Amino acid sequence: MALYRLSFRLRQTVTHVRSLHTSGCGQQQEAVAVESEPEPFSVFRAQENDPACQSEKCMGQYYTLPSAHIRTLFPHSLPWRYQQQVKTFNEACMMVRQPALEVISYLKKADYSKPSLRYLFYGLKGSGKTMSLCHTVHFCYTQGWLVLHVPDAHLWVKNCKELLPSSYNTSRFDQPLQATEWLRSFRITNEHFLSKIKTKQRYVWTKREFTEEGSPLGELVDQGIARVKSSSDVVGAVMKELRLQSGQPESDFRLAVAVDGVNALWGRSTIKKEDKSAVDVEELTLVHNLKKLMTNDWTGGAIITTLSQTGSLYTSKSAYLPQELLGE
């Protein structure tokens, strides 16, 4: 294998060798060679930076993401180590992997008048599942989709700094800090949609605060950011509105639901109640509403997820198959 790679690189090098003869005939031959010289071959850099135009020729190479896309699409969604690399090299590059290309090809051919299809990235630790998800999400973003991205679902079921009883359903618990953080990122990513999409029903938050039917979705998001106590219920309302409106004739958007570590929604939590008993994941308002989006009973979009054993609780560190992390 090493010899093959060496010979391959030598062949690419030879194509750029020029004649050293100084005779007139040699100069003419050199001029002809320059005219027919192929495009420079890049080993690491992909020639195409648009995810919609990438093919298997780009596989294993890195493409560059515009800094504007990083700020809007991934304001707080990229892995910490990758963010450090972006700061170090002052650019963001992603590897083009075969699973991401495959999912993108399916998204191009899908019939969005039918129930949304669900895609799942899984594999060994460090195989690029999260970055393949980000690559696919970047494709959706460049195609004008509305992106609902949960960068790490495991953070919703562990290390909760503030847990409050739900004011809407007494059997559930709200996580206002996580909900507010997610709403801020959602607003940055989908700013241009928030004034176009109108709510389909009236929402009452307190005796004096409510969101009328027909209000812009941005007003609903701002309510959750300004009133932290109701932020978890606002997240549920936003997800409900998008699920009901996606794929409808009057809606002009496609919805991409992307969840990293989706197995957390069916796992166990480390969050404790006041009596020190464990909180079931279904009792968490955020998880309850997100699981509704995982069912493909809505149209006009796609559900793109990953399995992650890194933050998975009470499971073997070597487990990576769907049957092991999701169950039957």
pLDDT tens digits along 15-48? 343 333 334 444 444 444 445 555 555 688 999 9
| pLDDT higher than threshold 50 for residue 8 | no
Q: SS3 of 272, please?
A: strand
Tokens of 186: 């959602």
Kindly report, residue by residue over 154-201, the tens digit of the pLDDT.
Answer: 999 988 889 999 988 989 999 999 999 999 999 999 999 999 999 999
Per-residue model confidence (pLDDT) at position 38: 58
pLDDT score at 213: 95
Question: Which pLDDT score is estimated for 324?
Answer: 86
Q: What is the predicted pLDDT for the residue at 27?
A: 45
User: Percent of the chain, pLDDT > 90?
Assistant: 71
Within 10 Å of residue 321's Cβ, how many Cβ atoms?
11
Per residue in 255-276, pLDDT tens?
A: 999 999 999 999 889 999 888 8
For the chain, what are the domain ranges? 51-325
Summarize pLDDT for 306-323 with one digit per residue, the tens: 999 876 777 777 888 888
Instruction: Give the angle 146-148-152 at the CA atoms, nearest 5°.
Output: 155
Contact (CB, 8 A) for 49 and 64? yes
CA gap 313, 138 in Å, rounded: 29
- Please report the pLDDT score of residue 22 as a whole number: 38
Dihedral over Cα of 234, 239, 242, 243: its sign: negative
Query: Is the per-residue pLDDT at 7 higher than 50?
Result: no
Find the mean pLDDT for residues 79-95: 94
pLDDT digits (tens, 9 = 90+) for 209-233: 999 999 999 999 999 999 999 999 9
- Classify residue 98 by its DSSP letter: H
Per-residue confidence (pLDDT) for residue 323, from 0 to 100:
86
Asked whether residue 108 carries a pLDDT value surpassing 90, the answer given is yes
